[in-house]
Structure formats: C-alpha cells, structure tokens
Structure 1
Amino acid sequence: MTMTKTEADLRLSMLNSLLTCPHRRLGLVHPLHTELVKQDPRFYVRLAAWYADHGDVRDHKEMFIVTLALSDFPGHRDTGLAMLRELPPYQVGRVIDFIHGRKEDVAIEVDRKPDDVPASAFRPKVDRKAARGKKPGKPKMAEGGTVTLTDTFGLFRNVPRSLKTEVVRYLREREADADWFDSTAITARKTLKRLYALLHVKPGPRAQAVLFDERPPEGSKLAGLKDLAKAETADEQAKLIAAHNVPFRVAIGLVKGATPKVLTALVGRMSPQEVINNLEMLRKRGAFDDAGVKALIESKLESAKTATRVSAFKAEKALESVPVSAAVRQKLEAVADSQVKARGRIARPTALLIDKSGSMSQAIEIGKRLGSLLAAVADKELFVYAFDSIAYPVESAGPELSAWERALTGITAGGNTSVGVGIDQLRRKKQFVEQIVIVTDEGENAEPRFVPALQKYREELKADPTVCFVKVSGATSQLEDECKKAGIAVDAYQFNGDYYALPNLVPLLARPSKLELLQEILEYPLPARRTE
C-alpha cells in the first residue's frame, strides 16, 4: 500500500498527539480520539491495536476502546470489544463509566457562600469556640463553609448492546473460576458491584454471596480476608496472608505490625512495580534490616527487568527519592535501563538539543530525562548540546539519570534563543546525524536562525536528518511554520508535563524512518473477538 504525503502527514499527526498523559481525566482526550477516528478510520483501528501492545498511557488505551465500541465503521466494534476483554476490571469499569456517565458530589471549602450557589448546596462553618460556655442555643456561624457542587464525568450515553454483552461474558468468565473471581473481588470489589448493577447483570451464586450478601464461602480468599482482619498477632496475620495469597495493597491496610514474617509475606505478594513504588514504605518498616526480606526485595527488582508492566521512569523516580544501599540502587538502575531498552534501539546517529534560554527550566529537566532515555537505547553516536545564544556541549558519563543530572550541573535557564546555534556546532565539528531532537518552546530571537542553519548543515555534510520538536508548556508553532515554508518535514510532540509519557518517543525514534513506522502500524494484526 502506497501512502501519499498528505496521508503520511495526517497519520504522523495522529501519532504525535499520543504524547500526553491526562491522569484519568478521559474527557481531555475524548475530543482528540473522536477527531482521529473521523480523519482516518482504517488507520485508527490499527493504531489502537498497535498502541494496546506498545503504548504506555492507560488513558489512551481506554479511550481507544471507548471510541471503537461507539464507532459505526465496519469492524471497529469487534476490535474494541476484543481489546476490552484483555483489560483488568478497574479499566473495564472506567470504560463503562465514561460511556454511561457519572455524577459525583464534591465538597469545596469557601470563605463565604457564593451568590450563585443555592442555600441547599451550602453548609456554613460552625464556630464552636465562640459558642463554648454559652447557654444552649444556635451556635454562632462563621463566614465560610462548604459548597457542595455536582461534578459530571463521561458521555451520558446508552451503553451499546454489544458492549454490554461483552462485559457479561467478561464477568461470567471470572465467575467460572472461583479463585480468579475471588482474587478479582478482593482488588476490584466496588468496580465489580457497579458493573453488575449498572448493566443490570444478574450475578451468579458466588458473585451474589461474595459481593452482595457479604457471605464468602468457607475456605475462600474472601473468607480468609475476614480472618486476617480478626487476627490478633502479626505472625498469625503473616500466615494468613501467605495461606490465602492476599494481595499486598489489600493486606497492607490490615497488618498490625512489621515483623520480618509479615514483611516477607507482604513482599512475596507484591508485583515488581509495587516493590518499586513502595520502597520508601518498606525501608521505613525495616525491610532492608532483615537479610531474608532484603534478598526477596532484590529478587523482585531482578524480575522487574523483564516484567511487562514496569515503568522505567518510576524506577528512576525511586532512585531520586529513596535512600537505598548501593546494591539496591544498582538494581534499580538496571531495571530502568532494561525497561527503556526493551522499547527499541536507535540505530541512527542522533543529536539532542536542549533549549536553556530564559524561562526554559522545564526544557532542561526534560532534556536530562531524554538524554538518559536516548543514551540507554542509542547504538550509534549521540551528540547533546544545551543552547541559548551559544551552544554548550553536554557529555554524560553514562545513561543513568543521575549521570545526566551531573552533566547538566550549572546549566540554568537564561539568555536569548538561537535554535540554529546547536545546528551550527554540529556543522562546525562535522558531526553527522540522521535525526535531530529539539526540546524547546519554538521561540527564536537570535542568530543563527534554525532553518538557514539546518539548510547549511544539510548542504555541507550531505545529510538529510529528520527533525523532531519536543514542545514544552506554552510552546508556539513558530519553527514548525518556518520549516513548512522552507519545505522541511518536521515532527512535533507536545509535552504536557508527565515524564512517564516520554518513553512513547522511543518507538517513534527507533525506526529508520517514520514512514516505516506508519507502515508497521498499517499492517499490525487486529485482535479477534472471542467466540463464546
């Protein structure tokens, strides 16, 4: 299949839009997906399948399913429903909730009642201190109080019959396996109850007993959970956690003490990502003081290298915030390195240019993380410069984030902006690259200018590097517009402040060309809906 330039540009813009992380506010990405599926429905469904396997942001994965489940384009619903079956229950619940819509009352503290808020929504603050010692009567009211407002979430549409059918199959599949259902009920009880109630699904006997009658069968995990809550000693709780395989995030709220036996039972039930996320809590509870518990933590970190649901940047965040031993630090660094490398290798010489001009402190922070990210996956040369009106070479001792922080020590935001000065340095030093990544707001007010500098670089080094802008908050499209006028193709990714979305760049930079990536997505196999 041959793509025209217009088709390729459209599809690249669809890819570029996925470098966002709305933090569970699906309403922020719904208009984007609605527009994308209209622009190119055939590419959109392939992109959804590809992103389900290669993407990082759960909100986008959920919104792909919402959009496909509501689409009238042939084949979209079946693909969306096939993808739904692979989600954990809490994400299935979020998909259904967003389509059905939900209202929640939110209490907000205010200094005084707003004029446009009805009295029924306002609860005055009672000044108990002023009323103390006075005769019984109405206490004095303070000026402020609490305003209760109704927050709406979702589309407020009828859930399609096909989607309801798939959720029923999803629930019945879990009901058919008692251990699986009990494990799901422990971690997603509210979600399961809402799915049964919202979609008017009659629960099976076990679901009825566990979720609605509060009578879990004897010997089940749910019954074990009740025993765990009643246990008098920490050692007894440790035995029950191990015997019933109680998940860490449930057990941690019930344990009475942090003995080595309890910590061993907790860590044994933790996923590699949970260990990384809770290192500080484990440290404070003395987990590293016991040789056995410490060894178990280290084995979990070892398995995190190849685990499918581990975030590289969360491992790096743990390195920043948790004081751990050199051995544990080394394992965390290995986790981050392995997880980044698993996303692909960059086989093209690359330049990273970091804008350090006035108000560009965010660009410097992104530059540290991108430098660490690219260094970990680069098989060819990586040249890095921080620039304002002059370019500062940045050389790191290694791919670790700490190494890049040291390399950028003393580089602070300030000065005018010449994006072309970094390109000029590449040209003067005869540094041949095939792609250039620039972290910037696209503002430019000093010579040499970017477009003329790039044209000169291409001419002298006989190179034709691709250009990728990583745009920080408040960025314009100044340089993109100038590139278009000069006939230079560029990609641009809007960074919205979430560093966990940055690994999405790796698959996009790892391909020899963006056209090859688009072709890979266009040929990506679609998941098939199960026949029951």
Structure 2
Amino acid sequence: MAETHEQDVRVQILNSFLTTPHRKLEELAPLHTSALERDPLFYGHLALWYFDKGEVRDHKTLFVAHLATCNFSEFREVGWVLLQKLAPFEVSRVLNHSKRVLGKVPRSLKSAIAHYLKTRENNPRQFDGAALRARNDLKHLYASLHLKPGPRAQAILFAKQPPADSELAALKRLARAESSEEQALIILDSKLPYTTAIGAIKHITPALLVALINAMSPQEVINNMAALKRRGAFDDNEVKALIKQKLAEAAGDKRVSTLKAKKAIEVARLDTETERTLNEISDKRVAAKVEIKRPTALFVDKSSSMTNAIEVAKQLAALISAVINADFRVYAFDTAAFEIKARARQNERPVLSDWEQAFKFIKANGSTSIGAPLKRMYLDKIYTEQIIIVTDEGENSAPYFRSVWSDYTKEMQSTPAVIIVQVDSDYNRFSEDLQKEGIEVVKYKFAGDYYSLPNVLNLLAAPSKGELVDLIMRYELPQRPRLAMAK
C-alpha cells in the first residue's frame, strides 16, 4: 500500500507538467508542497531531472523555492545550486513566492541570492546585461534582502549614473545619436539587445536591422520574428540572409525553447522556406532531448467538440515523429478509425506542416468509440507497446476500448501502456474502467499550454513508469561550492 501511495504522488507531479498555467505559481504551489512533504527524496531528484529535461519555467521556479525553504539541509543545498542557473526575473519570483506563499526566507536562500548577485557583479558584462533586461528585479533582490550592492551595481541600479563602459550608458548614447550609421556602431559595439535598443531608434534602416540582428541570440531572433517582419527584415536580401544564419545556429543552441519556433510561425505568418526552417529547428531541438525506441500509436478523438484534441494531436504527432526510432501509427476516430499518414520530403521526418496537411480533412463530429482504432490495429495485426489517446474520455459507442483490449493483447502478445492526454473535460470514467481491468494507465490533463507538450516525450521515451523513476533517481544531489559555503 505504501509503495502505491508513493507512486500516486510521483504520477501526480509528472501529470502537472501538462497542466502548467504560465505565471500562476500559486495554482501549482499546493502540488509541489504535497509532493515534497510526501516524497522528499523523489522530489529533490525530480528537480534536477526537470532542470535537465523540462522546459516550463514555472516548474523550475517552484522547485527552487520549495527546495530552498524546506526542512532538509540536503535539499536546501540542491535549491541553492539550482538557483544559480535562473534568470534574474526568475530569482525574483523565487524570493516573492518564498515570502508571500511559503512564508519564509531562510539564511540559505538569502545566501544563494547574495552569491548569485555577487557572481554577476564580478562579471561586469554579465551584470550589465542583467541590469539592462531586469533592472527592477535586481533592485528588488538587493532591497528586499538588505544586501549592499557593489560600486557598479550601486551606480547602475540606484544612482542612475551608469559607468561609461556599461550597456546602459551605451543606450543613452544610442538615443542621442543622429545618424543610422552611428546608431549601428553603438549597437554592434555594445551588443544592445533588440527589445531595449528598438525603443531608442526612430527610423529603422537595413543597416540598423543588420546591427540589431547581429546582437541578438538565436532565441531572440525567433521570439521577435513577427516584429522583424513588420520592420521589413524579410524585404532586404542581406537582412533575410542574416536571419537565416541565426536560425541555423538555433538548432544546436540548448537555450532555444522547443515550441517557441512553432509559435513564431503561427504569429508571424512567414514565407514557406522560413516556416520549414523553424519547424526543422524545433524538431532538431526535440531530437536532441530524447529518443523513443518503443513502437507507438497515437489515437486522436475527432468526435463532436473535439477540435482542441485534433490541434493537440498535430503537435504531439510532430514532436513524436522527430524522436521516434520505431513504428509510429496515428489514427483519428469517432465510431470508426482512420489512419493518418504525413508525407515528408524525401529522406526527412515529417514536421508540423506535414501533419497539418495530413489532418486537413479531419473535422470534429460524430460519436466516440475509443476502441475503434485499437480494433483496426488488431485486424491489421499492428504491434505497439504504448498508446497515446488524446480525448475527453467520453466513450459512448461500441466497439469499446476495454472490450477490444483482450483480443488485441492475446493476438499481438503485447500489453501496451496507455497514456491519456485529456482535453476539455474532467470526466474520469474511461480511465477508471481501464484501471479496473488491470491496464497500465497514466493520465495527463492538457490545459492549453502548448509549451509544456515536449515534456510528454521524456515519459514516452522511458520503457515504463518504474524505469522513468529509476532514471530520475540517478541524478546526483549537488552541494554548493566549498568557497560559497565558507562565506
């Protein structure tokens, strides 16, 4: 019974990876609190695994806040180390969450933040960049914890007298510059970030766009793709070539968010070539994270009101296609099943645009028979080891999944794991019925956050839930550097 109880906690927090609302930490805090209290050892290792594999910042912030304020010194050490990996605005959110929600700021957390700030002060370039992007967050950290800023931090953050060699001083020079050539030189020399520099420029020329894009990271180029298009970046061949070069760098940049490239396509309405490049970037980033080795099937509920399920399935199909090295089948279903096949370019894997084309005639209507695609696989003798079902769980027509299950498992000599991605519903009857039949079921509720979907891949890549837990537990708990402990 105790082992089952522990497993429930682990499944619950893994399930939360698909339901994370951005910037709503208070909604997830009880979940993290419960998991830490009921299984602190797993929670500590899970934090390390998530920093390595996960993409949703809200979870990383919560892991640090809850570990850094917990009652176990070993896990406070983990929180101390992980905090050093965060951006200034995330550290500010850790502090706010610790004070306002958890109600405490222990000395170890204050020490972690003090070390974080001192490390950046010791690197003027790093500190200036942080001050340029997150000045108010840095001021909040110093002031809230009564930490004395160093001379450079004092001059930039509080005295408003930035040193001549600082990026903030360069920004002031940029605002005063009269020619586009002078502005371009200031941007290039100081590497001013696009979002900051653009506000100081009145007239955008191709030369200025080149300077701005040169100063941008690949992720910044992707994030600002729509704004660059509005400013004519794709109308100039030299500027467009530079964007293409930055996008090529993005494929190997670990800092690039997997699905933000796909979001850029949706927002910016780019040309076909650039869209394909962005899709390839996303797929390469996904492929660098995991590899799925088990034959996998994706069942997509296309019954009435399941339009969102179809959209989620397109994203999942593209993500899985990028990392699977085994048979992968996709079926849409109402009371019948329809196999969906994406056609990619020769010798390439299908990308999102290929799956969108494959799904273009799939519309939400009809009743729901989740057993229909499983029966189709049974009749076609298709072997699989895991089935992802995107559905609201409202099965109301034969053939029923649980009825076909015994025939399929007996014929194919396989008992697939079932992963339910629940969309637009709180209905539990389907999953409960499967569990009563002894079928291995994991359920995730999707709440509209497409940025969290890549986290599913880590779970699909694991041979079983138990082996995934073993993988997480292999992450060694770190300790803060001895030099930092001595201070």
Give TM-score, length-normalised by structure 2: 0.94
Paired residue type of 2:305: S
Q: Does 1:333 align with 2:279?
A: yes
The structural deviation recorded for 1:8 is 4.0
> Offset of 1:11 from its aligned partner?
2.4
Match of 2:325 in 1: 379
- Root-mean-square deviation (Å): 1.6
Are 2:479 and 1:528 aligned? yes
How far is the alpha carbon of 1:89 from its aligned partner?
Answer: 0.9
2:20 alignment partner in structure 1: 21
1:345–1:377: 8 Å Cα contact kept in structure 2? yes
Which of the pair has more CA radius of gyration?
Answer: 1
* 8 Å Cα contact 1:473-1:497 kept in structure 2: no
Deviation of the 1:305 alpha carbon: 0.5
Displacement of 1:9: 4.7
- Distance in 1 (CA, whole Å) between partners of 2:166 and 2:319 is 45
- Provide Cα deviations, 1:463-487, integer angstroms capped at 9, x if missing partner: 1111100011223111221112111
Answer yes or no: is 1:451 the counterpart of 2:402.
Answer: yes
Q: Is the 8 A contact 1:480 1:490 kept in 2?
A: yes
Give the 5 Å matches for 1:169-208: 169-208=115-154
Secondary structure of the corresponding residue to residue 71 of structure 1: coil
Task: State the distance in 2 between where 1:10 and 1:179 align.
Answer: 43
Give a deviation string over 1:485-509, Cα, whole Å, max 9, x none.
1111111111111111110011110
CA distance in 2, matches of 1:264, 1:470: 44
The answer for the alignment partner of 1:404 in structure 2 is 355
CA distance in 1, matches of 2:463, 2:376: 24
Which residue matches 1:123?
A: none
- TM-fit CA distance, 1:4: 4.8
> Is the CA contact (8 Å cut-off) linking 1:362 and 1:472 kept in structure 2?
yes
Residue 509 in 1 paired to residue 455 in 2?
no
2:256 corresponds to 1:257: no
**Residue 75 of structure 1 aligns to a residue in which SS?**
helix
2:421 maps to what in 1? 470
Partner of 2:301: 355
Deviations 1:109-167 (A, max 9, x none): xxxxxxxxxxxxxxxxxxxxxxxxxxxxxxxxxxxxxxxxxxxxx44x23212111221
- Structure 1 residue 397: deviation in Å? 0.8
Q: 1:206 to 1:10 in 2, by over 3 A?
A: closer
Shift of 1:327: 3.4
Matched residue type, 1:314: K
- Equivalent residues in 2 for 1:76-225, closer than 5 Å: 76-101=75-100, 154-155=101-102, 157-225=103-171
Partner residue in 1 for 2:347: none
In structure 1, stretches of 5+ residues that fail to align are 102-153
- More deviation in 359-368 or 473-482? 473-482
Structure number with the higher strand fraction is 1
Contact 2:375 2:408 in 1 (8 A): yes
Indicate which of 166, 171, 175 corresponds to 1:229: 175
1:244 matched to 2:195: no
Amino acid at match of 1:397: R
**Counterpart amino acid of residue 426 in structure 1:** M
* Structure 1, 292-301 or 214-223: larger mean CA deviation: 214-223
Question: Relative to 1, partners in 2 of residues 1:368 and 1:326: Cα closer, same or farther, differing over 3 Å?
Answer: closer
Aligned partners of 1:92, 1:499: CA distance in 2, in Å?
24
Matched, 1:417 2:416: no
1:316 partner amino acid: K
The amino acid that maps onto 2:12 is S
User: Residue 357 of structure 1: CA displacement?
Assistant: 1.1
Match of 1:265, as an amino acid?
A
Residue 253 of structure 1 aligns to a residue whose secondary structure is helix
Deviations 1:291-347 (A, max 9, x none): 322221111100110111222322123333434344323321220220121121211
The letter of the residue matching 2:29 is: H
2: distance between equivalents of 1:162 and 1:4?
32
Residue identity opposite 1:205 in structure 2: P
Distance (whole Å) between structure 2 residues aligned to residue 29 and residue 456 of structure 1 = 41
Letter in structure 1 aligned against 2:409? R
User: For the residues of structure 2 that align with 1:10 and 1:220, how far apart are their CA atoms?
Assistant: 48
Q: Give me the identity figure in percent.
A: 46
Secondary structure in structure 2 of the residue aligned to 1:252: helix
Match of 1:344 among 290, 312, 316: 290
Amino acid across the alignment from 1:12? V
Q: Secondary structure at the match of 2:326?
A: coil
Distance 1:455 1:502 in 2: 31
Aligned to 1:47: 46
| Residue in structure 2 matched with residue 302 of structure 1 by the alignment | 248
Between the aligned partners of 2:313 and 2:7, the Cα distance in structure 1 is 28
Give distance in 2, aligned partners of 1:328 and 1:288.
Answer: 10
Deviation at 1:5, TM superposition (A): 5.4
- The aligned amino acid for 2:43 is Y
Matched, 1:316 2:262: yes
Deviation at 1:6, TM superposition (A): 5.2
Shift of 1:60: 0.4
1:21 shift after superposition:
2.3
2: distance between equivalents of 1:322 and 1:247?
20
Q: Is 1:276 matched up with 2:275?
A: no
Residue of structure 2 in register with 1:126 after alignment: none
Contact kept, 8 Å, 2:81 with 2:478, in 1: the verdict is yes
* Matched AA of 1:521: I
Structure 2 counterpart of 1:495, which letter? Answer: F
- Counterpart Cα distance in 1 of 2:258 and 2:73: 37
Aligned 8 A contact 1:233 1:256 in 2:
no
User: How many angstroms apart in 1 are the aligned matches of 2:265 and 2:167?
Assistant: 35
Q: Do the aligned partners of 1:355 and 1:440 also contact (CA within 8 Å) in 2?
A: yes
Corresponding residue number in structure 2 for 1:57: 56
Q: What code does the residue aligned with 1:72 have? A: N
Say which is worse superposed, 361-370 or 179-188, in terms of deviation: 179-188
Task: Kindly state the Cα deviation for residue 454 of structure 1 after the two structures are TM-superposed.
Answer: 1.4
Sort the Cα spacing of 1:301 and 1:467 in 2 relative to 1 into closer, same or farther, 3 A.
same
2:411 equivalent in structure 1:
460
Of the three residues 494, 500, 503, the one matched with 2:451 is 500
Contact 1:64 1:80 in 2 (8 A): yes
Find the counterpart in structure 2 of residue 36 from structure 1. Answer: 35
Letter of the 1:78 counterpart: E
